[in-house]
Amino acid sequence: MTKERDTSLALLGAPTWGIAMVCAIFIIVSLVVERVIDEIRRSLYTSRNHGALLRAFEKMKNELFMVGILSITLLMGESLFPKLCLPRKIYAAAPLCKHPLEDAAITIEEEPSACQAGYISFMTTENIHDLHIFVFILAAVHIVFSVMVIVIGTLEVHRWQAWEAPAAQKPENEVQIAEGGTRINHQITFVQKHASRNKCSSNTVVSFMIAFVWQSFRWRMTESDYRALRSGFIRHHCPANPSFNFHKYIWRSFEDDCKRVVGVSWKLWVYAVLWLLIDVTGWETRLAVSFAPLLFFLVVGAAMQQVLTKMANKIRDQHVLVIGTPAVMPDDNLFWHGRPQTIIRCIHFIIFQNALSTAYAIWASVTFPSYNCLYGTPATLGIRVAIGFSIQIYCGFLTLPVYAFVSQMGSRLKKSIFSEEVNLALREWRKRAKKHVGKAKDNLGKNGARDIAVPLELSNWRPFSVS
């Protein structure tokens, strides 16, 4: 306690100009960061082509707000947790590292403590400060990774825009012999690329393994894929409007997906706590663990590739590659458990896991000496960080854009079929309709009249099916 009292009294002897200068530096830096964030938001808001970045940016602002709350909580805990005492045997159970445990105990004993003999502080002030640093590193890494995915994915989806105008037109060589059953070129190419080669490869497990390996070398959306899936989508969902701007719909869907994969939900925070809990002896910082997010992304990519394989096999088996016959047919049963949205949840989790493992490695390198189990050499740290960035590039270049496209092959339309303004107007209209129906029911019950005109039951009405 004497050391803490001496530290606090030291501020009383500090010069006022020094105190004012430090406070001014903090305030100036905070104002500059706040102004930069506001300028970025304004530039994204005025640009109609950066809707995905704007939505993701708003989520990141919420994430920074959450980090600020965590920071305040940790600062409040600096005066509470050091006063909590635990028996030494309990404290020694499940250590983060085994080898430096004695050194850690000596360091803790050297600090002022109110604990009696045989007991040790639950968490020292220095430990809480180290956790404080970890929270900020995790937030910074996750924001950088999220921006990478969105920027790279935006460029990839923008590349598809050049295919929309040609796909909306009927090439002459596809309609010259309609009555003879001319085969549609882009559907033939789609089947040749994605259909199983033999009966063995048609097996679900075998086709998944083939897709897992095959996607690493040739998995990128091509114009034939775009045309085939666009044709199936329009024939299934809007056959009366063959000139439907499919790319614009894909773009809005991609913006919605970007909003879902950035930010950290409470479930992911719970997972982060559990991840720290089971990191006994630092096994999670091993180099092999860094490849786990990449493995997960390959599994998700194989699942999406298998969706295309199933559709191609169905076209091939039914011999429907003729004009006027529906070919690529959207269906929820093509996805895991009939739920296309499961994939985007997996992508969100993998992005957070990649940021968590990368931030953990960086934190270990800047916090602890090189002899501990969490941090080996600068070369190991460089490899882990390079793996983390490579995984994000893979996600932004392939996984997230392809999901925005393949997820349209579900049985139901997404809410992005309408613009954000229309969706907002429909939600407000539905709220008013439900309120009006409720009042009408109450009046009917009070008056007991049977001849009151009651509006249609709009509370269960949906303007469109959403996935």
Per residue in 76-88, pLDDT tens?
A: 877 788 788 888 7
Per-residue pLDDT of 239-271, as tens digits, reads 777 788 888 888 888 888 888 888 888 898 889
pTM confidence score: 0.76
pLDDT of residue 283: 66
Tokens matching residue 197 = 């080669």
Contacting residues for 217 by C-beta, under 8 A, at least 6 apart: none
More confident site: 7 or 407: 407
Look-up: residue for tokens 């493995």? 295
Chain-centre distance for alpha carbon 240: 35
**Helix 378-394 to helix 341-367 angle, to the nearest 10 degrees?**
160
Are 434 and 442 spatial neighbours (Cβ–Cβ below 8 Å)?
Answer: no
How many percent of the chain have pLDDT more than 90?
4
More confident site: 161 or 460: 161
Residue 119: strand pairing partners: 87
pLDDT exceeds cutoff 60 at 455: no
How many percent of the chain have pLDDT more than 70?
63
Mean per-residue pLDDT of the chain: 73
The pLDDT of 3-20, averaged and rounded, is 67
Contacting residues for 30 by C-beta, under 8 A, at least 6 apart: none
Winning range, highest mean pLDDT, from 42-51, 107-116, 352-361, 399-408: 352-361
- How far apart are the C-alpha atoms of 164 and 434, rounded to whole Å? 39
pLDDT of residue 182: 43
